[in-house]
Amino acid sequence: MVKPKPWGTKLIPARTASCPATIKSSKSACAVCRRGGAITGAGWRGHRVARAPGDTGEERTSLYHGHTLPGDVAETHFSVWNDTHGQAATIQKLHALRRAEDDFLLWNGDLSNDIDHREQLPGQFVHPAGVDLAEGPPILLARGNHDVHGLWAHKLTDYVAFPGERTFYAFRTGPVAVIVLDTGEHEPDTHESVAGLAAFDPLAREQTAWLEKTTQEPAFRDVPYRVVFCHIPMRWRDEFPDGYAKKGISLYSTRRGREAWADALKRWGAQIVISGHTHIAAWLPASAEFPFGQLIGGGPDVGTATILHADANAQNLTLHLKSLLNGETLEKIVVAPLSSHTLSSVPVRAGGRNVYRG
């Protein structure tokens, strides 16, 4: 959620509530409300306000209306963007495809290329490519490796608020429990490119302990659909120690999250992990070793970018990964609900669709 700053813009709320994470509004005008591990629905209204440095006056826009995530309801809807890398045409086209029924939008990392100058922050995280993020559903963020690049990357949280100021979080939206993890940089903390300034290995271990505890909360333990978002996938087709030189991806980038979180996610009964990073849309079905599917969105230009639409009800969770260029459905995945006693899912091919039955 965008935090109020005197040199930037903010939303002045007509109603307030607490929220875990969004880049949609000011800290007091929430997009998500969590109480005791559960999500409760609420609405908000607010103005976007502009104020020049040293100016005591304000210029307000028209009134915005928004909502928090639905709590104990039968269905939910959401969309996912990833790897936009500041490309205006991609962002504008994605924004034009917003769905009125969506309860939230998850921006799955790499909004930027790097953040070397302070002036880049509002343009990349508040009104990228001139689009108004205050319009439409609440927007949540999973941090990508490029979002930690640059001299001013540590100031991201001046514009994007996370729960407890940590860049990983969990929430419940209707019948879906969501875990959002921070995969950090794609190289080891000891790599020369980060000059000894990174500490993403400890961050991964911190998330492991948090994940074990969070998934035991009632709102996340007894739920039919269990979805994980993280920017770097937990597995990929071509992993090499020098993966980028070989047109694959770095083995370490996927291994960090896989080694830290896969066991906990198996015990929880995670059904699908949704990522980006590779810039190649792909679907890796579940296996005996990894009983959750891995879905990856493309990017960053219009020709390779994707948009994911997801709809969940009592019967199934259906995900459509579509080409941004022509709207073609690249993958349709149907996830059957888990019972409270089922902690694994087995892939079954049926009618050309990827079907998971709990």
**Mean pLDDT along residues 64-69:** 75
Asked if residue 276 belongs to a domain, the reply is yes
Does the pLDDT at position 331 exceed 50? yes
Average pLDDT of every residue of the chain: 75
| Dihedral sign from CA coordinates of 86, 231, 228, 21 | negative
pLDDT score, position 184: 76
pLDDT score, position 26: 32
SS (H, E, C) the chain: CCCCCCCCEEEEECCCCCCCCECCCCCCCCCCCEECCEECCCEEEEEEEECCCCCCCCEEEEEEEEECCCCCCCCEEEEEECCCCCCHHHHHHHHHCCCCCCCEEEECCCCCCCCCCCCHHHHHHCCHHHCCCCCCCCEEECCCHHHHCCCCHHHHHHCCECHHHCCCEEEEECCEEEEEECCCCCCCCCCHHHCCCCCHHHHHHHHHHHHHHHCCCHHHHCCCEEEEEECCCCCCCCEECCCCCCCCEEHHHHHHHHHHHHHHHHHHCCCEEEECCCCCCEEECCCCCCCCEEEECCCCCCCCCEEEEEEECCCCEEEEEEECCCCCEEEEEEECCCCCCCCCCEEEEECCEEEEEC
- Read off the pLDDT of residues 184-230 as tens digits, 9 standing for 90 and up: 776 665 555 555 555 667 788 899 999 999 999 998 998 999 999 99
Asked if residue 43 belongs to a domain, the reply is no
pLDDT score, position 303: 97
Asked if residue 121 belongs to a domain, the reply is yes
Asked if residue 252 belongs to a domain, the reply is yes
Asked if residue 4 belongs to a domain, the reply is no
**Mean pLDDT along residues 78-87:** 94
Q: Domain range spanning residue 179? A: 70-357
Asked if residue 57 belongs to a domain, the reply is no
pLDDT score, position 232: 93
**Mean pLDDT along residues 41-46:** 56
Share of the chain above pLDDT 90, in %: 41
- Read off the pLDDT of residues 259-303 as tens digits, 9 standing for 90 and up: 889 999 999 999 999 999 999 999 999 998 889 999 999 999 999
Confidence of residue 96 (pLDDT cuts 50, 70, 90): very high
Does the pLDDT at position 79 exceed 50? yes
Asked if residue 150 belongs to a domain, the reply is yes
25/232: higher pLDDT: 232
The structure's pTM equals 0.79
Distance CA 254, CA 172 (A): 26
**Mean pLDDT along residues 295-320:** 97
- Read off the pLDDT of residues 158-176 as tens digits, 9 standing for 90 and up: 777 777 778 899 999 999 9
255/141: higher pLDDT: 141
Q: What is the CATH number of the domain that holds 175?
A: 3.60.21.10
Q: How many domains does the chain have?
A: 1
pLDDT score, position 339: 75
pLDDT score, position 340: 46
Does the pLDDT at position 62 exceed 90? no
Closest CA to 23 of 76, 66, 75, 87: 66
**Mean pLDDT along residues 84-95:** 94
Does the pLDDT at position 332 exceed 90? yes
Does the pLDDT at position 68 exceed 60? yes
- Read off the pLDDT of residues 13-41 as tens digits, 9 standing for 90 and up: 332 222 333 443 332 222 322 222 333 34
Is residue 121 a contact partner of residue 159, using CB atoms and an 8 Å limit? yes
Share of the chain above pLDDT 70, in %: 68
Does the pLDDT at position 333 exceed 80? yes
Asked if residue 173 belongs to a domain, the reply is yes
